[in-house]
Amino acid sequence: MKILLAILLGGFFGFALAYVGATGFKNILKMLRLEDLSLAKIILFAIGFSSVLLSISSLFGIFDTSHLSVKTMNLGGIIGGLLFGVAFGAVGTCPGTCIGAVGSNGVKRAVAAILGGLVGAFAFSMSYGYFKGLGLFAALNMGKLTLFNISDKYPSVFNVGFVGLLIVGILFMGAAYILPKRILKD
């Protein structure tokens, strides 16, 4: 039953990505070039909406926060995030939209991006010991840190809990609403 549910939810997610244009490489590149912010507005609203749902469901005990997984924040993660951002801008896709593009419109580019991701993951796994020996993962090690104290297991930057998450979610949805459709012209 869990596998069937995962397939259904994955199919729905892929359909939603294709429907809003998130699987189109040109749409993503236009967003990154600030030529068309429609996709950015959708992403910002979705983050805000899911934050509101998470905070409300947690406040009422519907969602168990033990299901949340927080990764360690360190210099290696920061560098990895920067590399991911550069690759995202160069290719015009991320892992989620890339898989969606295989099923919709950009098979060649999506397969190339998937293979590039696999090569990158292999290179990282082969060099992990070397970078760990250099102290890359011990530098700026902040541990498993969250913005808001949504669980007793993890320390937080702000001590406002789910109410803070709710406020930020509402602010994100408001920002998505007032954000202009474009900043730069084509």
- Paired with 45 in beta bridges are none
Cα–Cα distance, 57 to 150 (Å, whole number) = 12
> Does residue 83 share a domain with residue 30?
yes
Contact 28, 39 (CB under 8 A): yes
Q: Please give the pLDDT value at position 158.
A: 86
Helix, coil or strand: residue 186? coil
Q: Does 156 fall in a domain?
A: yes
Q: Does 58 fall in a domain?
A: no
Q: Does 50 fall in a domain?
A: no
Q: Does 81 fall in a domain?
A: yes
pLDDT in tens, 33-92: 889 999 999 999 999 999 999 999 988 988 888 778 888 888 888 888 898 888 888 888
Helix/strand/coil (H/E/C) assignment for every residue in 142-174: CECCEEECCCCCCCEEECCHHHHHHHHHHHHHH
E strand residue ranges, the chain:
146-148, 156-158
> Does residue 171 share a domain with residue 136?
no
Domain total of the chain: 2
Q: Which domain holds residue 120?
A: 24-37+71-142
pLDDT in tens, 100-140: 777 766 778 788 888 888 998 999 899 999 988 988 888 88
Contact 164, 158 (CB under 8 A): yes
Q: Is the pLDDT of residue 96 over 80?
A: no
pLDDT class for 29, splitting at 50, 70, 90?
A: confident
> Does residue 29 share a domain with residue 102?
yes
